[in-house]
């Protein structure tokens, strides 16, 4: 389907461009959101007449978005979720959840403005892009933790908080690995102290010595 873009669309085109898109994308997103018009001759003429006003409106909304972006950029949103010992969430955090968190922090946005390709499924800190305008975007941080206290720790350390039990398991594994290395070293030292293993030449010499020690009668037998 051919459309006239009424604003810049990322990876698609600029305002006024005539582009070809899939029918589903046009009907479900671009046309209902008022971001494009069908590329008919009547709409092309209408756009040419309204272009100056559309560009002026776009400039105003861009300025508003830039002003909002200065306040919103870098915002940390704490999202408390239940999680297992390894940090895997019992559920997930999606774009709607992030939008609600940002809105509760005082900035009204929609989930469509949140660019989150895949739901978050583990504890940690996540940089998330928020589109405020076709030409303006900022980054907010989703701090996903079991509690506000753990979220504060994650913000300081920059990494997810794991349980004490998991930390002990990690220490035990490291200790076992160290013990194995020490055992190998001790074994190597014992072999070295005992001397090198006999070679084929040593075995031949030993056999010759034994033969010389035999009596003449033994040899005749």
Q: What is the pLDDT of residue 161?
A: 86
pTM: 0.66
**What are the b/e assignments for 22-35, b being 16+ CB within 10 Å?**
eeeebeeebeeeeb
Average pLDDT over residues 211-218: 51
Tell me which CATH homologous superfamily contains domain 76-164. Answer: Ribosomal protein L9, C-terminal domain (3.10.430.100)
CA distance from start to end of the chain: 108
211: confidence class by pLDDT, cuts 50, 70, 90: low
Q: At 33, is the secondary structure helix, strand, or coil?
A: coil
pLDDT in tens, 105-148: 999 999 999 999 999 999 999 999 999 999 999 999 999 999 99
pLDDT in tens, 61-116: 999 999 999 999 999 999 999 999 899 999 999 999 999 999 999 999 999 999 99
pLDDT in tens, 8-66: 998 899 999 999 999 999 999 999 999 999 999 999 999 999 999 999 999 999 999 99
Parallel/antiparallel/unpaired status of strands 76-80 and 18-20: unpaired
Q: What is the pLDDT of residue 10?
A: 85
176: confidence class by pLDDT, cuts 50, 70, 90: low
- Domain 2-71 annotated CATH 3.40.50.10490: no
Q: pLDDT exceeding 90 applies to what percent of the chain?
A: 69
Element (H, E) at 38: strand 36-38
Residue 73 vs residue 219, higher pLDDT: 73
203: confidence class by pLDDT, cuts 50, 70, 90: very low
* Domain definitions of the chain by residue range: 2-71, 76-164
Cα–Cα separations (whole angstroms), residue 173 to 88, 166, 169, 177, 178 = 21, 11, 6, 6, 9
Say if residue 168's pLDDT is above 50: no
């Amino acid at each position: 389907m051919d459309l006239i873009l009424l604003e810049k669309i990322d990876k698609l085109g600029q305002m006024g461009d005539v582009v070809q898109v899939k029918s589903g994308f046009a009907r479900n997103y671009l046309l209902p959101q008022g971001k494009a018009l069908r590329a008919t001759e009547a709409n092309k003429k209408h756009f040419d007449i309204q272009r100056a006003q559309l560009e002026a409106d776009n400039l105003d909304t861009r300025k508003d978005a830039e002003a909002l972006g200065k306040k919103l950029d870098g915002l940390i949103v704490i999202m408390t979720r239940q999680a297992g010992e390894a940090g895997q969430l019992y559920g997930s955090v999606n774009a709607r959840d992030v939008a609600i968190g940002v809105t509760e922090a005082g900035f009204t946005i929609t989930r469509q403005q949140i660019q989150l390709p895949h739901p978050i499924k583990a504890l940690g800190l996540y940089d998330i892009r928020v589109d405020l305008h076709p030409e303006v975007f900022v980054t907010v941080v989703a701090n996903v933790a079991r509690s506000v206290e753990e979220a504060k720790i994650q913000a300081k350390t920059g990494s997810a908080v794991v349980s004490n039990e998991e930390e002990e398991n990690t220490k035990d594994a490291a200790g076992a690995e160290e013990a194995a290395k020490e055992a190998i070293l001790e074994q190597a030292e014992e072999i070295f102290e005992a001397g090198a293993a006999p070679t084929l030449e040593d075995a031949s010499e030993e056999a010759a010595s034994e033969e010389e020690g035999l009596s003449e009668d033994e040899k005749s037998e």
